[in-house]
Amino acid sequence: MDPSTFALCATMYLRKAWDEPGIEVTGARKIIGGASRHTWSVDAAWNDSHGAPQLRELIFRLDPPASLLASNRGTEYAMYRALYGSPGIPLPEPLLLEDDEDAFGMPFFVMERLGGVAWPQELLTPAFEGRREPLVRQMYRVLGSISAVDYEAVGLQGVLPVPAPGNTWEPELERWERTLHDHDLGPMPITAAVIRELRRHPPPPVARPRIVHGDFRVGNVLLSPHGVVGVLDWELTHLGDPHEDIAWSMARNWRSGAAPEMIGGALRPAEALAEWESTSGMRADPESLRWWQLFSHVKANAIWATAAHEFSIGRTSELMFGTMGWLNIGSQEKWALEDMGVLTR
Amino acid sequence: MRPEPPLALRAALKTLEEIAEESADAQEISRLRGVSTLLTILEREWDTCASTRLAGISRYTDIVRRGAEMMTGARRARLTEVLAEGGRNAGDYRISSLEKSLDRLRAAVLDLQSWIEDSEGPEDGALLASIWQAEYEDAKSEDRNHFFW
């Protein structure tokens, strides 16, 4: 869809949804990088009943025909609604959830557009000079705040399945194992061995399931030089073990070539853990972290396999999807073996 | 002397770079980067794509042969059949054929590994260590990671 057509469709939709016949949408542009949903930025302007000019800067998140992730739009929207305004967790305001495909040919939701940047290369620009370390520290305090939320107190018990505290790991492992099976790229002996190892040695139980973002990392957090502006991309959210988010956020996948040993290019893992502990009220458990670190390789490979499969069956012609299958899996499996500690030379 | 394909790929990459430099469209630049990544890998692996696969086939064939000698019954028969199939395709050096051979061997190694992982004999332990190492070499040969940022 080209920007002018998108602006027109958004204008028609918002006029009806907000009962504001004077709304005009301008500045439509597709945001690069959203591989799980199509993301568009627009400005909606109108005059209110007193003639005062109004402007809303908006993001539309549309469900594409092919996606990296099988996710539930309603769940993602519910997360924004449940956590919006929670202390220490900056989020865009969720505004509209639309299941009807009439407006754009696919369902979507609308939320407030925040400032800041998500693309990690932006952190290397002069504006962020000297700011990376405090920002990454804050990211982990935000993650700790997410882990600390009582999911019942924010009304999520009917939205997200509640796993048994002693078995938060199995539904997640089964989910990604099934994803790998459904998007078969051929035999993957290393990933299969990792899965067996994970089943043989489950992680310690959690006292109580916590909100897990599911894709918390550099790239999915809006940052400005002044601080964390918003946590985005809640497609994979679920209740489970908070170590899952810590391990995923620290995975080598998201590291910077300028400082590959550091998290977010600026912080040692132990320092990041201390920040998380300071707001979560929990202690990170090394055994759990190791389990979820290995699990991250399975999950990542399942995501790469999904992309490759969608491309192979012609559901998308996005080059990124086509290359992911063979671009990422080798390195993922190499890291998995290194993390398992099974290599003798 | 004919220009080597990697030379042509490098020229293509330079052309893409020039187009990207002239573009102000972030979406177009992102798509060009995707094509550049693909061409960079093709250029890098052009000369080695057959040899790395042949090395992988050789490593895994050795593992499966050792496994077949240790197994009995249906498991041994299955591994032996994989080795025989590999022998039948030995002269076919098309990349697609080498990939198929590798996948057959990977499937056999996957089974073999799951059979011996919980065994405690010294021979099992030695074979398992060899499997881990062969898998590591296989993963390294397909390691195309570039840093996220």
A126 has a pLDDT exceeding 60: yes
Total domain count for chain B? 2
- Cβ contacts of A174 within 8 Å, gap of 6 or more: none
Could you tell me if B116 and B63 lie in one domain? Answer: yes
**Measured between alpha carbons, how far apart are the two ends of chain B, in Å?**
39
- Same domain? B137 vs B78: yes
Indicate whether B149 belongs to any domain: no
Contact B113 A193 (CB under 8 A): yes
pLDDT at A67 over 60: no
Strand ranges in B1-93 using DSSP code E only, listed in sequence order: none
Residue B114 with chain A: CB contacts under 8 Å: 192-193, 196
- Residue B108 placed within a domain: yes
Q: What is the mean pLDDT of chain A?
A: 93
User: Would the pLDDT of A5 be above 70?
Assistant: yes
Q: Choose between A327 and A68: higher pLDDT.
A: A327
Residues B137 and B101 in one domain: yes
Calculate the alpha carbon distances from B39 to A11, A329, B13, B95 in Å: 41, 18, 7, 17
Q: Looking at the structure, do residues B114 and B88 belong to the same domain, yes or no?
A: yes
Q: What is the average pLDDT across B6-29?
A: 90
Instruction: Judge if B63 and B107 occupy the same domain.
Output: yes
Neighboring chain B residues of A334 at a CB cutoff of 8 Å: 136, 139-140, 143
Residue A74: enclosing H or E segment and its boundaries?
A: helix A73-83
pLDDT at res. B120? 84
Same domain flag for B66 and B38: no
Q: Tell me, yes or no, whether B23 and B81 share the same domain.
A: no
pLDDT digits (tens, 9 = 90+) for A289-310: 999 999 999 999 999 999 999 8
Q: Are residues B26 and B64 in the same domain?
A: no
Q: What is the mean pLDDT of residues B101-126?
A: 94
pLDDT, one tens digit per residue, over A159-209 is 999 999 889 999 999 999 999 999 999 999 999 999 999 999 999 999 999
Please count the residue pairs, one from chain A and one from chain B, whose beta carbons lie less than 8 angstroms apart.
Answer: 104
Question: B147 lies in a domain?
Answer: no
d(CA B66, CA B133) in angstroms, rounded, equals 14
> Which residues of chain B does A329 touch, with a Cβ-Cβ cutoff of 8 Å?
142
On whether both B67 and B127 belong to a single domain, the answer is yes
By residue range, what is the domain housing residue B71? Answer: 49-141
Nearest CB to A189; choose among B133, B135, B149: B135
pLDDT at residue A70, rounded to an integer: 55
Residue B89 lies in a domain: yes
CB distance A90 to A73 below 8 Å: no
| Cβ pair B117:A193 closer than 8 A | yes
Model pLDDT for residues A29-59, shown as the tens digit of each residue = 988 765 667 899 999 999 988 999 999 999 9
Cα–Cα distance, A38 to A29 (Å, whole number): 11
Q: What pLDDT is recorded for position A65?
A: 66
Question: What ipTM was assigned to the predicted interfaces of this complex?
Answer: 0.94
Position B86 in a domain: yes
% of chain B at pLDDT higher than 70: 100
pLDDT more than 70, % of chain A: 97
- Percent helix / strand / coil, chain A, rounded to 5: 45, 15, 40
Is residue A68 scored above 60 in pLDDT?
Answer: no
Q: Which domains does chain A have, with CATH numbers?
A: 3-112 (3.30.200.20), 120-340 (3.90.1200.10)
Evaluate whether residue B59 is within a structural domain. Answer: yes
DSSP, res A203: P
Distance from CA of A334 to the nearest CA of B (A): 5
In terms of domains, do B118 and B85 share one? yes
A interface toward B at CB cutoff 8 Å? 30, 32-33, 119-121, 123-124, 186-190, 192-193, 196, 218-219, 253-257, 260, 265, 319-320, 323, 326-331, 333-334, 337, 342-345
Task: List all residues of chain B from 58 to 117 with a beta carbon under 8 Å from chain A.
Answer: 103, 106-107, 109-110, 113-114, 117
In this prediction, residue A113 carries a pLDDT of 97
Same domain assignment for residues B68 and B103: yes
Helical packing angle, A132-148 and A269-280, nearest 10° = 40
The pLDDT of residue B97 is above 60: yes
Q: What is the pLDDT of residue A61?
A: 93
**Tokens encoding A143:** 């993650």
What are the Cα distances from residue A342, in Å, to A190, A284, A328, B31, B84? 11, 24, 21, 39, 30
Give yes or no for residue B59 having a pLDDT over 90: yes
pLDDT given for residue A69 in this prediction:
59
